[in-house]
Amino acid sequence: MEFKLKKTVGELVLANPGLLPVFEELGIDYCCGGNVPLDEACRNANVSVEQVGRMFEERSAFAQSRERDWSSEPMFGLIAYIVNHHHYFTRREMVRLDELLHKVCTAHGEKHSELLRIRDLFRSLSDELLLHMAREEQVLFPYITDLEKRLTRHEPVLAPAFGTVLNPVRMMMQEHDSAGATLKLIRKLAADYSVPADACMSWFALYQGMQEFEQDLHRHIHLENNLLFPRAAKLEERAELTAATA
């Protein structure tokens, strides 16, 4: 993507919010240095304008790839996608957004107490999601992958320690509901992510990032609740029927 080099970094961010994580990753100051033209900001950060454009396009392509239809593809591929894209994105953004929350709360928390509540809720949510994703990656997902592999190869299926896949699935879905409720409360406290008149660019970046975080988590939960988990339950039923008729 080509950018007008003499447009300021602040103007470009307002027109293309997807540039926010790109600028942060490359160390381009869009907050206090928001009035600097892009070409000058790139020189100050020792990066090229072409690199900015390339990273922006890659992130845009990543967003489009999330619309892939996984309904008829092997579950191990869907699981790999969830881990490599959604879990990766969630972990990365939780760190980035926590840093932004600290920055914005330090600057504006005394006057805007809702920011302190948002910070506490987001940190609690982050702790829960880290544990949630670890359970999926270490227990549930390996079982589903092994189940699919064994049925494909017509091998005996091993009984899981948790009895049936429905048990961890039920727990994961309850935790999904809890995460969704927390995000709704954060959105309410943030007034649907509308920044006040005295907000700085970091505040704008925070709310933009939290909206993207919420949207990605919604897609993430959809793939698990509505696609992966029901398919895993049906596969386990098939395994039980196969064992009963063997």
Supply the pTM of this predicted model. 0.75
Sign of CA dihedral 104, 106, 108, 114: positive
Highest mean pLDDT range out of 21-30, 199-208, 215-224? 199-208
The C-alpha atoms of residue 173 and residue 20 are separated, in whole angstroms, by 32
What is the percent of the chain where pLDDT is above 90?
54
pLDDT score for 155 = 83
- Secondary structure of the chain: what % helix, strand, coil (to 5)? 75, 0, 25
Q: Cα torsion for 37, 43, 46, 52, to the nearest 10°? A: 40
pLDDT at residue 4, as a whole number:
62
Among residues 106, 86, 25, 36, which one has the least CA distance to residue 220? 86
Residue with more model confidence, 61 or 226: 226
Average pLDDT, the chain: 87
The pLDDT score that the predictor gives to residue 31 is: 61
133 has a pLDDT exceeding 80: yes
How confident is residue 33, by pLDDT bands cut at 50, 70 and 90?
low
What is the model's pLDDT at position 23?
83
pLDDT score at 96: 95
Cα separations in angstroms, 120 against 103, 117, 125, 182, 191: 14, 5, 9, 11, 17
> pLDDT tens across 37-86, in order?
888 888 988 999 889 888 888 776 655 544 566 777 899 999 999 999 99
Q: Are 186 and 77 in contact (CB under 8 A)?
A: no
Q: What is the CA radius of gyration of the chain?
A: 22
